[in-house]
Structure 1
Amino acid sequence: MTGWSGLTGLRVGVWGVGVEGSASLRRLAADGVAPYAVVDRAAGSAVGQQVLALDEGGLDRLLACDVVVKSPGISPYDEPATTLAAAGVQLAGGLGLWLEDAPRDRVACLTGTKGKSTATAIAGALARGLGQDVFVGGNIGRAPWEPDVAPADLYLIETSSYQAHDVTAGPRVVAVTSLSQDHLTWHHGYDTYVRDKLSLCTRPGVETVVAPAADPELERYADLLGPHVQRVVENDAGWASGLGLIGRHNLRNALLAREVLVALGVPGADDEAALAAAAPAYEPLPSRLTRVGRVGDVEFVDDSLSTNTLPTLAAVDSFPGRRVALLVGGQDRGIDYTPLAEGLAAFGDRVLVLTLPDNGPRIAATIRAAAPTVWVRECVDLAEAVGAGHAWAKPDGVVLLSPAAPSFGVFRDYAERAEVFTAAMRALA
């Protein structure tokens, strides 16, 4: 099998009909391949296909397939994926299939625990400003294997650890932003998570570009970064001022994005004046250290997409010398919050931590045990935390939603959490 084009004549199943699964169905239809099975958690329909429920005959249909194209959220380490693999069914991902016959010398995959969306978006904006026809997609935006995606000069693909696991053919460039705990349940542990994510780097012909600044986890797993590693040198990068970024860590993302374009051979990527002219085209992504308003002189910042400790600490560090009311908590994935507590202790008494359901009590207990000098208060909901944060941050501090946890359980997604945060701010006014 070689990519999507190699599925002709095989019995192909599609497992999961979300964003990527629907894109896969459209690609199969465009290629004239009729899926042998379309399976999800519940029966229904999607993109002109009848969908079988997994526990109502769907698994039997998948077992009869040669290849099953699965959605990224389905872990290959869990049942029934392990049953399919043991039966000889080949499990594949849409991105892995696309990369097998893509113009890989014009492709960069950007990955990392946090920062990959911002770095990908910055690289896309700069490349367009430098005159390139660019496709930006993957884990952010559209799937590159959608049948109506036009040929481009460059393909900048944000790549999650889920997607990286299914990739066998590497792109020309892999960029790595950071490493910390995430998605431990899907990968069955941190070491497997890192190895799955960094597996992109060791594919033949890949040049790995690594973010500037010492990251202890990247140093710990340096042997997984591949044989060709380019470490970005941190500098003030005057050209980046037009990007309108908050925080030193986002400047590092910008430097990484630029180095990706240099590695891909984009004309002008090493020209400071050309980059400065291209930078204002960048539009900040929502819920990634985004200013949403003020009440009096207190600033409110939405970082709802921050779902682990690394970006949360970076977010607090983005407001030197200011009082920061930090709102943390959400779905409990079992990660260790001791590094968050120890990191917050370095900011002294200028930070108040306001914890949110569901894992707020556990975060609060960890902070009290590991960093007893950090001020912490448990809140029943986001509205209470916003009010308490505003009262404490006066006269000119920051109320920062950077939860170090996913939103699921209390909210539909990160966007709804951000909307509730903004609405609570407006209610104060």
Structure 2
Amino acid sequence: MTSWSDLAHVRVGVWGVGVEGSASLRRLAADGIVPSVVVDRESGVEVEGQPVLGLDDGGLDRLRACDVVIKSPGISPYDAPALALADAGTRITSGLSLWLDSAPRERVACITGTKGKSTTTAIAGALARGLGADVFTGGNLGNAPWDPQAGEHDWYLIETSSYQAQAIHSGPRVVAVTSLSQDHLTWHRGYPNYVADKLSLCTRPGVEVVLAPVGDPELGRHADALGPHVRYVPEELAPWTEALHLIGRHNLRNASLAGAVIRALGVPGAEDDTALAGAAATYQPLRSRLTPVGQVAGVDFIDDSLSTNTLPTLAAVDSFPARRVALLVGGQDRGIDYRPLAAGLDGRAPEVLVLTLPDNGPRIAATLRQHAPRVAVREMPDLQAAVAAAYAWAAPDGVVLLSPAAPSFGVFKDYAERAAVFVEAMRGLA
């Protein structure tokens, strides 16, 4: 029993009702299956017409009584409730794993990596569509390929997080890994587990091609985990990449990987640079990924709110090599080591001012003061104050860069709210 079609005669639970959980409920309803639905919060609501039971309101016992539990990605298999289900013999799987077990995997690519996977997936999708292919882009981007609303397609490009990769049993034909650095350490219970869970996708049954960028030091240190089918992709300033209008060398790497993905899949036209240039012109940059959001009296404001660890933040700073950069960092504390951030910024002093934000701003500031004493650091009470101070320092022709190297949760609902507050503070200056 491995795929969605195998669930018809077993007891099914759905644990978590976010984007993936809701898609799973719609798929089960289309298949005539009524599951038990459990969430970590309290009972008393309905999702997709199904009553929801809280985990502490008998939900865990309800899940124990199931043969298969379809878990949402945010629920860690290392937490006590998941371990209790495993001990009880309940099989825990995911919607993506069930889909991959019966999908046309020769026409599927999963794109993972600490950072860059969303941009790489979006670029690959734009290129494929621009070449005339019927392509689905989704996964961690926010839509599920098993959702009945998704329909059938010729090609599938699935952004795959470390949470999702951990639960996958059968792989697609093509896997791309964009980068590797510390992230989600609490969920994975440390960096070794994070690396093992994320890169496990590379050696799942069915994988024939693994694409990775040349020169990523962490991927080089963990090259054995990439498996026997790895192909290294160089950063190439091909003519077609200019039409993407990307900021930053790391995005050139993402574009090179995106082109390699559609070539490995065999999308018609992917070998033709002229055709790719026309396709690249259709690309629309994703929000909050090195996105210019305005200028005030010569100072550029850049929203990179989705940068939630040190790797993309350093890449963002390096995207402005000849300019003074006021860098806004900080957010939810997930135990990430910020010494690499200090080491990377030390070479940019005094052209960089770091303004740290709650909640982990004091810890970031302490790390920078100890390991990069030449870098100026100011601890700020909130994002609005940080924007005002950053603008005053960056004038008359510098950059104010929101690239937090931390998630938004706690102070903000999500990255989009953090970005909106950043933009509103900029407009207040104008």
When normalised by structure 1's length, the TM-score is: 0.99
Q: How far did 1:98 drift?
A: 0.4
Aligned partner letter, 1:86: D
One-letter amino acid matched to 1:286: R
How far has the Cα of 1:348 moved from its partner?
2.3
1:117-128 alignment runs, 5 A limit:
117-128=118-129
The AA in structure 2 aligned to 1:314 is A
Contact 2:121/2:137 (<8 A) preserved: yes
Give secondary structure in 1 for the equivalent of 2:388.
helix
- Hey, what's the Cα distance between the residues in 1 that align with 2:48 and 2:227? 39
Partner of 1:12: 12
Residues 342-390 of structure 1: CA distance to partner in whole angstroms, max 9, x if unpaired? 1001112110001111111110010000010011111111111111111
Q: What displacement does 1:39 show?
A: 4.0
User: Where do 1:73-112 residues align within 5 Å?
Assistant: 73-112=74-113
Cα offset, 1:267, TM superposition: 1.5
Residues 209 and 256 in structure 1, CA contact (< 8 A), matched pair in contact too: no
| Structure 1 segments (4+ residues) deviating >6 Å | none
- Specify the alignment match of 2:46 in structure 1: 45
Contact 2:211 2:260 in 1 (8 A): no
Distance (whole Å) between structure 2 residues aligned to residue 395 and residue 36 of structure 1? 59
Question: Quick check: 1:208–1:225 contact (8 Å CA) kept in 2?
Answer: no
Moved more, 211-220 or 289-298: 211-220
2:143 is equivalent to residue 142 of structure 1: yes
The one-letter code matched in structure 2 to 1:72 is: P
**1:317 equivalent in alignment to 2:318:** yes
Is 1:307 equivalent to 2:308 in the alignment? yes
Q: Are 2:37 and 2:50, in contact at CA under 8 Å, matched by a contact in 1?
A: no
Mapped to 2, the partners of 1:141 and 1:132 lie a distance apart of 21
Provide the rounded CA distance (Å) in 2 between the counterparts of 1:358 and 1:186.
19
Q: Is the contact made by 1:76 and 1:82 (CA closer than 8 Å) also made in structure 2? A: yes
Aligned to 1:26: 26
Structure 1: how far apart are the matches of 2:238 and 2:8? 49
Distance 2:255 2:414 in 1: 27
TM-superposition CA deviations, 1:94-151 (whole Å, max 9, x none): 1000000000000000000000000000000000011100100000031111012221
Aligned-residue CA RMSD in angstroms? 1.0
Determine the structure 1 residue equivalent to 2:294.
293
1:276-287 aligned at under 5 Å gives the runs 276-287=277-288
Structure 2 CA distance, aligned partners of 1:235 and 1:89?
A: 48
Cα pair 1:10 1:66 within 8 Å, conserved: yes
**Counterpart in the other structure of 1:379:** 380
Aligned-partner Cα distance in 2 for 1:361–1:185: 20
Note the C-alpha offset of 1:36.
3.7
**What is the TM-score normalised by the length of structure 2?**
0.98
> For 1:348 and 1:213, how far apart are their aligned partners in 2?
28
Q: Secondary structure at the match of 1:349?
A: coil
Distance in 1 separating the partners of 2:397 and 2:217:
34
Question: 1:2-401 residue pairs with structure 2 within 5 A?
Answer: 2-43=2-43, 44-401=45-402
Equivalents in 2 of 1:307, 1:345: separation in Å?
A: 20
Report the residue type matching 1:84 in the other structure: L
- Alpha-carbon shift at residue 326 of structure 1 (Å): 0.3
Taking the aligned partners of 1:82 and 1:151, their CA distance within structure 2 comes to 35
Q: Distance in 2 between matches of 1:209 and 1:390?
A: 43
The one-letter amino acid paired with 1:4 is W
Tell me if the contact between 1:63 and 1:84 (Cα under 8 Å) persists in the aligned partners. Answer: yes
Secondary structure of 1:195's counterpart equals helix
Provide the rounded CA distance (Å) in 1 between the counterparts of 2:165 and 2:386. Answer: 37
Contact 2:131 2:275 in 1 (8 A): yes
Q: Offset of 1:40 from its aligned partner?
A: 3.8
Deviations 1:291-348 (A, max 9, x none): 0000011100000000000000000000111000000000111111000001001112
**2:67 and 2:288 mapped to 1: Cα distance?**
41
- Once the two structures are superposed, residues 251-276 of structure 1 have per-residue CA deviations (whole angstroms, 9 ceiling, x without a partner) of 10000000000100112112111111
- Is the CA contact 2:356–2:365 (under 8 Å) kept in the aligned structure 1? yes
What SS does the aligned partner of 2:148 have? coil
Partner of 1:395: helix, strand, or coil? Answer: coil
Map Cα deviations across residues 45-100 of structure 1 (whole Å, 9 max, x no partner). 11111111111111111111000001101111111100100110000011000000
Deviation at 1:216, TM superposition (A): 1.3
Between the aligned partners of 2:206 and 2:66, the Cα distance in structure 1 is 32
Structure 2 counterpart of 1:18, which letter? Answer: G
Question: Which whole-Å CA distance do the structure 2 matches of 1:373 and 1:58 have between them?
Answer: 53
Amino acid at match of 1:292: V
User: Are 2:15 and 2:70, in contact at CA under 8 Å, matched by a contact in 1?
Assistant: yes
How far off is 1:37 after superposition?
4.4
Mapped partners of 1:332, 1:80: distance in 2: 23
Instruction: Report the 3-state secondary structure (helix = DSSP H, G, I; strand = E; otherwise coil) of the residue aligned with 1:131.
Output: coil
> Aligned partners of 1:89 and 1:305: how far apart in 2?
35
Identity percentage over the alignment?
72
Whether the aligned pair in 2 keeps the contact of 1:292 and 1:300 (CA below 8 Å) is yes
Partners of 2:169 and 2:205 within 8 A in 1: no
What amino acid maps onto 2:357 in structure 1? L
Kindly indicate whether the alpha-carbon contact (under 8 Å) linking 1:176 and 1:208 is maintained by their aligned counterparts in 2. no
- Structure 2: how far apart are the matches of 1:39 and 1:358? 27
Q: Hey, what's the Cα distance between the residues in 2 that align with 1:213 and 1:420?
A: 37
Structure 1 residue 185, shift from structure 2 partner: 0.6
Local SS of the residue matching 1:348: coil
For 1:330 and 1:153, locate their aligned partners in 2 and report how far apart those are by CA, in whole Å.
Answer: 40
1:428 paired residue number: 429
Deviations 1:233-259 (CA, angstroms, capped at 9, x unpaired): 222122111111100000100000000
How many residues in Structure 1 have an aligned counterpart in Structure 2? 429
SS at match of 2:110: strand
Unaligned runs of 5+ residues in structure 2 are none
Give the Cα–Cα distance (whole angstroms) in 2 for the partners of residues 295 and 37 of structure 1.
50
